Amino acid sequence: MHIHILGICGTFMGGVALLARELGMTVSGSDANVYPPMSEQLAAAGIDLQQGYLAEHLDPAPDLVVLGNALSRGNPAVEYVLNKGLPYISGPQWLAEYVLKDKWVLAVSGTHGKTTTSSLLAWILEDAGMSPGFLIGGVPDNFGETARLGKTPFFVIEADEYDTAFFDKRSKFVHYHPRTLVVNNLEFDHADIFEDLAAIQKQFHHLIRTVPSEGLVISPNNVPAIEQVFDMGCWTPRQTVDLNMGDVQAQNIADDGGQFDVIHHDEKVGTVNWPMLGQHNVSNALAALAAAHHVGVKFDHGCEALGRFSGIKRRMELCGEVQGVRVYDDFAHHPTAIATTIGGLRANIGNRKLIAVLEPRSNTMKMGIHQHTLANSLMAADRVILLEDQGLKLSLAEIQQQLGDMSTIKQNIDQIIELVCQEATSGDEVLIMSNGGFGGIHQRLLTALAAR
């Protein structure tokens, strides 16, 4: 079977491509931007990539066209598919029909922490010898790939609430039918497709409806936005995880989150010593431990496995150190994630200077939805540098006014690099945050620091 994937270089659709190739299918694909790291993974798997969305990419016709949610009506390839009557399907539906239908699906949902929690969960299962399949929106260093079929019925998936396709406006995760479901947290996001928090909660309610009564739903303790979803109806047992409360909890937590005890029903079941930073990652770890326990992994083994976790690309990833200046890359793009990311690094580095560089790139950020919360999320940094891109409705001048002298606005990446090179000295930490590639600023900055 030959499938052609439109939008193949996104992390989700790239994962679909890798799974299809592992199933023995012939896979080709096209994208507006063919770029690493996904392009390198796909090329290594022998998948033919083409730049742009051209009708000729679909001639001769594949057996099935898989459409990513970035594709919309008016796209030349989409119009060709419809005009020629080619069979097509969304990525999530393809995944449900060809991969997940016979699996015990462990799905990780929520506004923040999905990639990290999914990676932690997959690694705990792997370390326990369970060889799970997975599709994760990032690259866990323990695996070096975003997706694989696995050798057992267990499949871990990052369950995104973003819409499925131009012809299916349900959230992706309604297709996955999990038996084990994690709901990490719930806030307003994706303002480009959701009108308000209630619209997102409705989609989460649809997800809850698909979990069997013999399954398990794992969530934090007493989060109003989540409790409102459960109040709409829940037919599945629940387990709560949280810091110092809940069925599974963390106690004696180190300031930087690098060590904590795990308590299950008032009994200590293990201690975690690991390289991850921040209280938010402690919460992610608890959810992963609880989900793994649901499929048979003992808590003490899970705690030991977390100590062998190596991290994830673009999640507080150390890109390099030059002349004593460390440069990190992180995917944080929502005020809550920005605050917890900076807070975790601050707890780890103490009084050392922390320079935070932010590209307000997400659709929600660009629309100005976080106008009144962004400044506060950056306060734990010593220095803040903001990139002012075109089309930004967010008023960075207002953010700068709230932050005061600690902040600077720059119009391009070269200006940011020049400023950091002027100000950073040995012992300083530079945290670069964006949900995009940020023009390759990380390596460019390291090169410029080395040339000072």
Least confident piece of the model among 32-41, 87-96, 338-347, 441-450? 32-41
Q: CA-CA distance, 39 to 316, in Å (whole number)?
A: 22
SS3 216: strand
Do 317-450 and 102-306 have the same topology in CATH? Answer: no
Report strand pairing: 48-51 vs 64-67: unpaired
User: What per-residue confidence (pLDDT) applies to 283?
Assistant: 95
Residues 264-296: tens digit of each pLDDT: 999 999 999 999 988 889 999 999 999 999 999
Superfamily (CATH) of domain 102-306: Mur-like, catalytic domain (3.40.1190.10)
Q: 37 preceded by cis ω (within 30°)? A: yes
Kindly report the CATH number that applies to the domain delimited by 317-450: 3.90.190.20
Answer whether 286's CB lies under 8 Å from 248's CB: yes
Cβ contact 381:431 at 8 Å:
yes
φ, ψ (nearest 5 deg) of residue 216: -150, 135
Per residue in 98-145, pLDDT tens?
999 999 999 999 998 999 999 999 999 999 999 999 999 888 999 988
Fold for 2-90, please state it.
Rossmann fold (3.40.50)
Domain ranges of the chain: 2-90, 102-306, 317-450
Query: Would you state the pLDDT for residue 191?
Result: 76
Average pLDDT across the chain, whole number: 93
Backbone φ and ψ for 315, nearest 5 degrees, come out as -120, 95
pLDDT at 336 over 90: no
| pLDDT tens-digit map of 139-174 | 899 998 899 999 999 999 999 999 999 999 999 999
